[in-house]
Amino acid sequence: MTDITPHSLLARIVRPTDVSRLGMDDLARLAGELRRVIIDQCSTGGGHLAPSLGVVELTLALFKAYDFESDKLIWDVGHQAYAHKLLTGRAERFHTLRQLDGISGFPRMAENPYDHFGVGHSSTSISAALGMAVARDLAGQKHEVVSVIGDGSMTAGLAYEGLNQAGDMGRRMVVVLNDNEMSISKNVGALSRFLSRKLSRPAPQRFKREFESWLASIPRIGKDLAMYARRSEDSLKTFFTPGMLFEAFRFTYVGPIDGHDIPALVDVFEQTKGMDRPVLVHVLTKKGMGYKPAETNPTYFHGVGGFEPETGLVPAKPGGGPKSYTEVVGGTLCRLADTDKRIVAITAAMPEGTGTDCFLQRHPERFVDVGICEPHAVTFAAGLAAQGFLPAVCIYSTFLQRSYDQIVHDVCLQNLGVKFFLDRAGLVGEDGATHHGIFDIAYLRHVPNLVFMSPKDEAELAQMVAMAFATPGPVAVRYPRGVGIGAEAPPPPAELELLPLGRGELLREGADVLVIALGSRVYPALEGAQELEAEHGLSVAVFNARFIKPLPVEQLLELAARFERIVTVEEGCLAGGFGSAVLECLADSGLMAGKTIRRVGVPDAFIEHGKPKELRARAGIDKAGIKAAVVAAAGKKALGS
Ligand SMILES: Cc1ncc(C[n+]2csc(CCOP(=O)(O)OP(=O)(O)O)c2C)c(N)n1
C-alpha cells in the first residue's frame, strides 16, 4: 500500500505547475519521495519498476522547465511514467495501479488531461510529437512539444521514420533520448553500439587524434583538411560522437547529459526552448536508479510481480507446479534445434518474455535478438527461410500486430517456412488494453498458405511446436500467458506424436448442445459442460478444434449435422475470429438452417487492465460466461421442459 504522508511534498502536488514552483532542494527531496512510493507500490502490486525509477529526475526536470498545462509531453512505451502519474493528480489513486477499475500502467488520454498521448507499444513518440508540432503550427499556437524515447525503443524503424520527417520539416520540438544502454535485456544493434559511452573512452579518442594527424599528413591539402574538419560544423568531434547521427537527421544535438542531475537537465531544457527547430537532448540514466536490487538486476525489475521492498527478494514459488506456456515453447525449441540445425530462434527484444533466453544459452550461433522491430524480425526470418532455414519467430500476439504486411507479403505469399510462436495470446491482465493479444485470429486466419493452431494445454503445445517444424510452409501457434493446467509432461520432441493436420478432437459426447472450443477455452468449456449436466441435466458435447486454419471442416460438418444448438468459444475478438470462421464454414455448407448458434469471445470493445481472471469474467469468456451461453443456446431445454 502506497504511503503518502500529509507532510510529504508529494501530498501537495496535484498538477505540473505545483512542481515547477519548487526549488532545487525540494525537487531533490521530491525525487526521494517518488522513488519510495513507486518501490512500495510495485512491491505489492507489481509493475514497471526499473524503467520508472530511472527517469525520476528527468521527469521532475521536465515538469520544472516546461508548462504542461499547455506544453505537450509524450512518453514512449509509457512504462516509465509512474512519476509522471504521481505528479499529475493520481497520487491518491496510485495504489490502484494496474488493478481492475484502477489507474492504468501506461499513459492514457482518457485517464488524465496531462497524458497527452496514449502508449504501450514502443517507438511511436517521435511521430506523435511531430504530428502535435505540426498541429500547433497549423493552429497558430506557441506551446512546446517534448517526447521521451528510450535507447531500446530507438531500435524500431518507426522511430527513424519520425526523425526523418521531423528533421525535414524542421518544426520546433524536443526529443529526449533516455539512454540507459538497456532495452528489457541489454540493448542490441549497431545504434546501441554507436551511442555507447565507449565513445568517450581512450581508444576512440586516440583514434580521433590519429585520424586528424593522418589527415594533416596528406601532402598539400592535408593541413587545411584537418583544420576544416576541426572547425566545421561537421567537425571530427561531432563526427565521432552520437551527435553525428542526429545532426544527419537535421536535429540539433545536445548532450550527453547526466539524467540524474536535475539542475543540469533543467538548464538544458530551458536553453532548448529558444531553438526554433528539432532538438535532440541525449540523457544518460541508470535503469533502476536509487534501488540497489533494480540497479543490479534491471532486467528482472523491468516488469515485476510482488517482492520484499527492503531486500528486493521475491517470495519463493512452491516448486513442482505446472510449467508456463512460454517455458514449454522455449524448451521444445531448444530440444528440436539440438538435432535440426536449420532452426533459428528470433526474438524482438524479449528473450526472457518469450522463453528464448534458453535458446541463447544452448544455441547462441542460431539465436538472434533483432531489437524492438517486429516487422523487421518477420522479413529477416523470411530471408532465412528462403535459404532453407527454419526460423522460429517468437513474438507476443499484441506486438506481432505490427508485422501484418510482412507476414502476408514476405512470408505467406511466398509460402516460406517461417514458424510463428505467438505468446500472450488472449487477455494478458495488468498491462491492459495495449497488450491484450486478442486480434491475432482475426488478422491471421484469412492469410492463404498459413497453418494456424492453438493448444488446449501445455502438452498439446509441445506437440504443436514439433508439428510446426514438420509442416512445410508458414505455421503459427497461439498460446496464453501464464502456467499450463498441469498436463502430463510431453515426451521428448523426437518422440512426440504429430497431430493430424486440420483435425480436432471430440473430448466429450453430448446430445443437447455442441461446444466448439479453441485453445485456452477448452478446459473451462469442459468443466462448464460437466457442471451443466449436474445442474440442469443438460447433455453438452465439447470439441477441441485445435486448428483455426485449416479448420477441421470435415469433423465440424459431421457434428453440425447432429446438433441444432452450437456454441463457439475462443479467447480472442469475436469480430472476424474463430467463431466467425465456424459460422462461415456452416453457412457455406448450407448447414445453418434451423440452428441456434452463439459465439463466446471478446466483445467489440477495448478491454482494460486487471487480473486475467477478472477480465475473462468481465468479457464473459470464463467458465460462467460459457455456461451462460450454453444455457441460452439450449433455451427451453435448459429449463427442463
Ligand atoms: C512494439 C513493442 N514491442 C515490444 C515491447 C515490449 N517492451 C516494453 S519496454 C521494452 C524495452 C524498452 O527499452 P527502452 O525504450 O530503452 O526503455 P527502458 O525500459 O530501458 O527505459 C520492450 C521491448 C513494446 N512495448 N512494444
Q: How far is the CA of 41 from the centre of ligand 1 (A)?
A: 21
Domains and CATH numbers, the chain: 10-180+242-302 (3.40.50.970), 325-495 (3.40.50.970), 505-639 (3.40.50.920)
* pLDDT for residue 198: 47
* pLDDT for residue 523: 98
Task: Name the residue with the closest Cα to ligand 1, atom 25.
Answer: 121
Which atom number of ligand 1 is nearest to the Cα of residue 152?
16
**Cβ neighbours around 485 below 10 Å, total:** 12
* pLDDT for residue 199: 47
* pLDDT for residue 258: 97
* pLDDT for residue 7: 83
Which atom number of ligand 1 is nearest to the Cα of residue 150?
15
* pLDDT for residue 211: 54
* pLDDT for residue 176: 98
Q: How far is the CA of 77 from the centre of ligand 1 (A)?
A: 6
User: What is the CB < 6 Å shell around ligand 1?
Assistant: 51, 54, 77, 79-80, 121-122, 150-153, 178, 180, 182-184, 287, 349-350, 372, 374, 399, 402
Q: Which of 38, 42, 177, 184 to mutate to test the pocket of ligand 1 (most atoms within 8 A of CB)?
A: 184
**Residue ranges, the chain, pLDDT below 50:** 1, 198-205, 207, 233-238
Q: Are 568 and 599 in contact (CB under 8 A)?
A: yes
Q: How far is the CA of 50 from the centre of ligand 1 (A)?
A: 12
CA torsion angle for 424, 429, 433, 435 (degrees, to 10)?
-30
Q: How far is the CA of 351 from the centre of ligand 1 (A)?
A: 12
Catalytic amino acids?
A: 287, 374, 402
* pLDDT for residue 195: 77
* pLDDT for residue 234: 47
Q: Are 504 and 347 in contact (CB under 8 A)?
A: no
Q: How far apart are CA 109 and CA 608, in angstroms?
A: 14
Q: How far is the CA of 156 from the centre of ligand 1 (A)?
A: 10
Which atom number of ligand 1 is nearest to the Cα of residue 349?
23
The sign of the CA dihedral 131, 134, 135, 141 is positive
Pairing of the two strands 390-396 and 145-150: unpaired
Strand order in the sheet with 278-284: 72-75, 145-150, 173-179, 278-284, 252-258
Which atom number of ligand 1 is nearest to the Cα of residue 154?
15
* pLDDT for residue 606: 97
Q: Within 13 Å, how many C-alpha atoms sit on residue 431's CB side?
A: 21
Q: Which of 77, 196, 287 to mutate to test the pocket of ligand 1 (most atoms within 8 A of CB)?
A: 77
* pLDDT for residue 203: 47
Q: How far apart are CA 518 and CA 453, in angstroms?
A: 9
**Cβ neighbours around 393 below 10 Å, total:** 31
